[in-house]
Amino acid sequence: MALVIKGLSKTYPNGVRALDDLSLTVGNHLFGLLGPNGAGKSSLMRTIATLQDPDAGSIELDGLDVLANKNEVRKLLGYLPQEFGVYPKISALDLLDHLAVLKGVTARGERKEMVEALLHQTNLWEARKKALATYSGGMRQRFGIAQALLANPKLIIVDEPTAGLDPAERNRFLNLLAAIGRRVTVILSTHIVDDVRELCPRMAIIASGRVLLEGAPADALAALEGRIWSRVVASDAELEALKAELDVVSSHLVGGEHEVRVFAQGSPGAGFAPAPAGLEDVYFLELARHGRR
């Protein structure tokens, strides 16, 4: 199933231009959408999910005009927004059953089988009768993906799903997404580079509502091979001097000192050593090149 987005633009009444002639093609796999806060990721997700209309542009899902056939698209769509509400006093079992009815699964036996299978798949079976208010952040996110999987959607959108999760919960959630992404198209919108690096065979980086880069993470990394250099500096003044002279990709504190990563065709100077490129280098470099860091 292919999702084809062409020339999408959206400006809100307050003057914020969230999407700026954005075009993107997503195939039948897990697709990573990277960008800083305010890049337009959530606006794009809401538009694909038929929750808002763009000012211009088109979206097709396997040849179906998304903007003209919203009800048909919603039957094929599973959506986990960045923030979602639940009835806190209701159990996961009862709320999933209710949501399945709203999704059109009216046969009691079919609904029971579907809901129980999803509770097992998301590792919530043991907690199925507990009130959702008692769930941890990770359990709540797994419930969110369970409701998104109701009625066997063909396209699933998840917006910043690992924000705020502890490392163990994040790992469990990413493993669940990876398993789902083998069967259906999943768009993972995030600002966490590691989520995309670990999961997605293809990705796009967006900022200010525009696509800066689209392709396979492996290809983006190969383009930086031998061009990332690293050096530790002892002072903020030295760091600022390097930023003024070189194409600094990023800097990190290591043992109280700054490790500086620089993009250069050859050695940028004394003390620098070649470093393996990472997807974070790709991300920061693209943002820096377009003046949107």
Give the chain's mean pLDDT: 92
- Percent of the chain whose predicted confidence (pLDDT) is above 90: 70
- The answer, yes or no, to whether residue 29 has pLDDT greater than 50, is yes
Q: Which residue is it, tokens 């907690």?
A: 127
pLDDT at 173: 84
Which has the higher per-residue pLDDT, 292 or 290? 290
- The residue type found at 40 is G
pLDDT in tens, 208-226: 999 999 999 999 999 999 9
In SS3 terms, 152-204 reads as: CCCEEEEECCCCCCCHHHHHHHHHHHHHHCCCCEEEEEECCHHHHHHHCCEEE
Residue 193 — pLDDT band, cuts 50, 70, 90? very high
Look-up of token digits 């179906």 = 64
Q: Backbone phi, then psi, for 6, in 5-degree steps?
A: -130, 125
Strand partners, 187: 31, 157
Position 194 confidence tier, pLDDT thresholds 50, 70, 90? confident
The pLDDT score that the predictor gives to residue 293 is 43
Average pLDDT over residues 26-42: 92
Residue range 271-280, pLDDT digits in tens: 999 999 999 9
Per-residue pLDDT at 35 exceeds 60: yes
- Ranked by mean pLDDT, the top range of 54-58, 74-78, 185-189 is 54-58
Q: What is the pLDDT of residues 120-169, one digit of tens each?
A: 989 999 999 999 999 998 899 899 999 999 999 999 999 988 877 888 88
Digit-coded pLDDT (tens) for 84-120? 878 889 999 999 999 999 988 999 999 999 999 999 9
What value does the mean pLDDT take over residues 275-286?
95
Least confident range from 192-196, 260-264, 271-275: namely: 192-196
**Strands lying side by side in the sheet with 248-254:** 248-254, 257-263, 228-233, 273-274
Give the pLDDT score at 84. 82
